[in-house]
Amino acid sequence: MAEPAATVGGTTLPGVVDHHVHLGLVGRSLLASGPVVEVHDLGWDPREACRFRAEPPAGVAVLIAGPFHTAPGGYPSGRPWAPPTSVCQVGDSAAARRAVATAVRRRYDVVKVVLHTGLPLLADEPLRALVAASHEAGLPVAAHAEGRGQTARAVDAGVDVLVHAPWTERVEDDVLHRGRHMTWVSTLAIHDRPEREVALDNLHRFRAAGGRVVYGTDLGNGPTPVGVNAAEIRALEEAGLGGDDLLDAVLGGPGRPPALVADLPRPRTADELVAWLAAAHRLPDSGRDDT
């Protein structure tokens, strides 16, 4: 990350980008004008999701995935927190192509697929069709991969993003190597140990293989705080991210204009970043640096 501009009495940095939220499950107005400047809504009723994007909390950009694309009867079908309209059931390749055409028409920013054992699983053929059609349309594909072998399936299908660092199995090194082009969203703080230990180990080895890790909280999953999640930032440090690597994972990263300023030095550790964000305030005009 390039050195930020400095203003009188403070240091400027980009705002926080949360790469995994569910705005339909939280009081999203609480995000307004805070340190979080962008969120990625990864699965909800499509009409509601489009409304989240069109009418976002003040000062927050919302990217949307529309519904969960899953097998007929697959996760999260039947879950009390998931409206039936938030699930798009994909039984074959033709249904996959139709689903992507809908994503293009509704201008989704990403296509979300679900690979979750214990319930009917999206088969290989429609999974590959979803990925191929999405890529042809210029859309990335993000996968919820839960259960033995599902990370490998996502990697081999060409998925771009894992929406959770895998926590249900130790991912083999050769899978991590094949998937080093991917981005993983952290969501470490939603897990208790030993699941968190598995996720931390997988994430640490994924980064060593050359993979990219970004901050995401799965906001709406349990009692996660609305806004900055200090526990998630500290978990990223526990996974080996520090200095500019930590800032790039949590903040907007290179190329994003500064959005926040705090009268504190440039943070280098998780605790310093948490303290910096707690003291930060928005710059005028969404962070334009006029100095």
Instruction: Give me 33's structure tokens.
Output: 């004008």
Evaluate whether residue 19 is within a structural domain: yes
Domain with residue 153: its CATH number is: 3.20.20.140
Q: What is the dihedral of CA 151, 153, 155, 157, to 10 degrees?
A: -150
Angstrom CA distances, 213 to 101, 162, 164, 208, 249, stand at: 29, 10, 10, 11, 6
Angstrom CA distances, 11 to 8, 241, 268, 271, 287, stand at: 8, 21, 13, 17, 12
Domain residues for the domain of 179 are 14-227
pLDDT of residue 23: 97
Angstrom CA distances, 275 to 114, 201, 262, 272, stand at: 36, 27, 10, 5
DSSP-assigned beta bridge partners for residue 17:
38
Global pTM reads: 0.94
Mean pLDDT by 10 residues, the chain (291 residues): 45 96 95 96 97 96 98 96 97 98 98 97 97 98 98 98 97 97 97 96 97 97 94 97 96 82 95 97 61 28
**Number of folded domains that form the chain:** 1
Evaluate whether residue 273 is within a structural domain: no
CB distance 22 to 217 below 8 Å: no
